[in-house]
Amino acid sequence: MTQVNVIGLGYIGLPTALMLAKSGVSVIGTDLNEELVKSLNDGKLTFQEEGLEELFHDALSNGIAFSNEYSMTDTYILAVPTPYIEETKKLDPIYVISAVNKVLDVCKKGVSIIIESTISPGTIDKHIRPVIENRGFEIGSDVHLLHAPERIIPGNMIHELEYNSRTIGADDLGVAKKAKEIYAKFCKSEIVLTDIRSAEMSKVVENTFRDINIAFANELAKICRTDDIDVYEIIRIANKHPRVNILQPGPGVGGHCISVDPWFLVGDYPDLTNLILTARKTNDSMPSHVLSRIRDIMREHNITDISKVGLYGLAYKENVDDTRESPTLQLLERLDEHLAFGVKVYDPFVKENIVENQYQDFEEFLDEIEVAVVMVGHDHIKENTVSLKDKLVLDAKNIIEGSYVYKL
């Protein structure tokens, strides 16, 4: 039986490990976070996701194990963080390099190392191959390298693990086919085999494409705001053209894909990424645009106390508890820069207090504010719009109508 050690049990690694185990693969999930591993061994999930609880129990029934230690297995799947360096916008490969080194400490000859973490084009050539070779391993015989970038989104992980197409890049087609057999145990869609550099580039390009399209909608919102035009009406009309599909503007871009991956291209190709850089800057500017709209509303209604403002939503997207790179956190950072403290925050999905003035009770949150800023379109707020009828509302997600509602 194939044995797989999944390294990194976050939003990507854990669902992948559970899906493999449910599908009959012998899986050990590894993470250096001792509390996380203890929680999983105690039968408690570390984040919320539709269908994850049932998948967790199925995986436990099939014998999945969790550990802080790396194991000697046939295959390793690395799903560790890949941040970028703020100053240069280049990928910081420190976590991937560390994971590869720990695999080399325990692995047997002929092992396959599959990197699922999103990496910039050329990362494996520049950073991973030298690590392996400097340790005295021969790539292609002692160690087989592959890149199989994840392609799932919080809120719909289980479905997308099964039905999204996958890409596997490898030096050797035979090695890629063996990896394909592993993923095919749960992936019901097409699995494309290619070389490693193409796999690296394709994932970054996918998220960059989305970032640019979002930036167009956000820039359009700013243009329309300048001339007091309803951007949503403009988009509605324009989208009636058979070849036009403009997205909806929003308060910013979060998550660990769209808000990060395009920077890898900017960092590596600074002279060739003018459009990509502009899109990144546009999307990163949206929390400041929201802040400007909050100030407009406060001035219009003679509200001088910033503590009367409440931000609804801490997650980066609707109906999840994932706060990575969330526009709300970005907005709060900008408030800190202006020494303006006291803004209230509430999110029904984020149970741990991660910012100041974060409320866990919706009614208590509403009692303390006069201006409600909808940053995330959770189903919860869609079902409770009546609760906002006596508030001034800045709706950054275009989900509420009424005379008391302001838009981007």
Q: DSSP letters of 262-298?
A: HHHHHHH-TTT-HHHHHHHHHHHTHHHHHHHHHHHHH
Of 203, 308, 317, 407, the catalytic one is 203
Name residues whose C-beta falls within 8 Å of residue 268's C-beta, 6 or more positions apart in sequence.
90, 120, 121, 122
Please report, for residues 69, 245, 327, 394, 404, the alpha-carbon distance to residue 248 in angstroms, rounded to integers and kept in the order given.
45, 10, 15, 16, 21
Alpha-carbon gap, residue 263 to 90, rounded angstroms? 7
Decide if 257 is catalytic: yes
End-to-end CA distance of the chain: 55
Decide if 224 is catalytic: no
Enumerate long-range contacts of 356-364, CB under 8 Å, 24 or more apart: 357/307, 358/314, 362/387, 363/387
Q: What are phi and psi of 18, to 5 degrees?
A: -65, -40
The two tokens of residue 117 are: 């973490």
Q: What is the 8-class DSSP label of residue 84?
A: B
Residue 189: count of CB within 10 angstroms of its CB: 15
Of 257, 308, 317, 397, the catalytic one is 257
Residue 305: count of CB within 10 angstroms of its CB: 9
Q: What is the dihedral of CA 39, 43, 47, 50, to 10 degrees?
A: 180
Catalytic residue set: 203, 257
